[in-house]
Chain A
């Protein structure tokens, strides 16, 4: 059982500017919440507040229905994976992983068995006797993860736990985290810069910017109904295109609106189509696998679109038309950026 509620959390570091400006977050028991946002927006700070590593002087942190502002971190029974790993340099990999259990007086046999089991799933078995100093970055990161996984708890805070892994390992670990989440019914708060990770893992995503929570909703809702221009441009690769309503032929809606068009909703034409379209000059194509990203220049600035590789593709420099569907567009207020 573990639910976490943040009420109007504000935080400034000692004689520094304010880094969190009133964040409200309601994380249900067993929920998988992913926090995304640009570097420096306060994601780690938020995790550290939940962990109890930073003092929470403004706002309230409620864990399992009880106010936890004054509860020291060691009494919160939360496992945390640190962005910088924070491994114990004088302990072996095995000892690092088993330390949390040792502190809770789990007998040696039991805790070592548990640590070995965790190490096995993280493919760390060959390194059990090594010290962190003799491991690669990715191996260290997995030890940091193992240390959290071995713990007997149902609340996990993970600060970019997969950032240093290669693709294969990252996918394997992602599955592993998902499994823990389902098997233990664990509550997980997970910070990442990786959109795929965010969209594929999260029950709900919290998008942050400059210490403000922008939107907190399911991945589908965030992708389909972004609350503002920032959220719209932050999630989705390539980024959403924005054109002013004036540039839209036959625009009848209110004025002063920005129209957001996801690259995958644009259709490529080599001749001017009958439907609404934007004329563009292709500047660059970028292969991503089965698809190609088209970078073009239009009267309203740079835009990108996605095309299948099967299509016979224009060469850079050619004139093309991008057909769009106003009904599928996202509209944002030109000044406030809020969704209209």
Chain B
């Protein structure tokens, strides 16, 4: 390829990328734009900028509270989930212990169980423990992620064991090896798994629906779903209001993604061993 044709190819690739990005983004942008319209203007095809939808969503429908609940629940689930997954992955990747393979098999097996099957057993368990209608009830069933443990184990196995050994020689305990060597090197994998856990929990609908009846503990997804049903008498749905609520639901995730994105770069094991 000559320099000119490669420059032209670059233009074409960039153009196509932009086009695809625009297609993917358009529903989001459209809904955000819609959320700033009055419903009258929206239904009559006009343009009338307003912040009232947000005011109603937060004030009348309590979305600030739902947002807080979602942040607390998803945040704690992510933090605990990724911690347990990382520790389990380290143990499975690096230590030989009796029943280890069996346990790992069990972890992998959980990946094949549809989440809906666990819904009723989980419900009964938490009901008996008196944990329905509480943050704990929302959080506990979600903090073990077999997939994250499995994925991180594979990642850690790719890290030369010589690094662990060097750290042991330097005087590190197994926990220190995990925290000072394995975790920093696995950062990209850990962050992607954490992001995945966070999004899955943020979008979780069925479990909060089942486990929570008290409206103070609703998460955003429940609140959003209820917006459709709040005014059964009116046969039109106030779409601009729904879009404002949706925007409140989407934005933190987008923001979070932008924040962790720079940690998702390729890992560094270069230069570690010959």
Contacts and interface: CB of A to CB of B under 8 A. Distances in A.
Interface of A: 51-53, 72-74, 77-80, 82-90, 99-100, 103-104, 131-135, 137, 140, 147, 151
Interface of B: 160, 162-163, 165-173, 176, 180-181, 184-185, 268-274
A223 B272 CA distance: 38
A124 B270 CA distance: 19
Contacts of A103: 167, 170-172, 176
Contacts of B165: 51, 53, 73, 82, 86
Secondary structure of the A contact surface, majority rule: loop
A175 B212 CA distance: 73
A87 B165 CA distance: 10
30 contacts: A51-B165, A51-B169, A53-B165, A53-B168, A53-B169, A73-B165, A73-B168, A74-B172, A78-B169, A80-B169, A82-B166, A82-B273, A85-B273, A85-B274, A86-B160, A86-B163, A86-B165, A87-B272, A87-B273, A88-B181, A89-B185, A90-B185, A90-B268, A100-B171, A131-B271, A133-B270, A134-B271, A147-B166, A147-B170, A151-B170
Contacts of B270: 89, 132-133
Nearest to A150: B170
Contacts of A137: 274
A134 to B, nearest CB: 7
A133 B166 contact: no
8 pairs of A and B residues whose beta carbons are closest in the complex? A133-B271, A132-B271, A86-B162, A133-B270, A100-B170, A86-B166, A84-B274, A84-B273
Contacts of A132: 270-272
A78 B170 CA distance: 8
A53 B170 CA distance: 12
Contact of B273 (A77, A86, A100): A86
A17 to B, nearest CB: 20
Contact of A90 (B169, B170, B184): B184
A331 B270 CA distance: 51
A86 B168 contact: no
Nearest to A105: B171
A306 B62 CA distance: 96
Contacts of A85: 272-274
B272 A89 contact: yes
Contacts of A52: 168
A79 to B, nearest CB: 7
Nearest to B159: A89
Contact of A88 (B163, B173, B176, B274): B163
B269 A74 contact: no
B271 A82 contact: no
Contacts of B169: 51, 53, 73-74, 78-80, 100
A259 B247 CA distance: 92
A84 to B, nearest CB: 4
Interface centre among A86, A132, A140, A151 (most CB of B within 10 A): A86
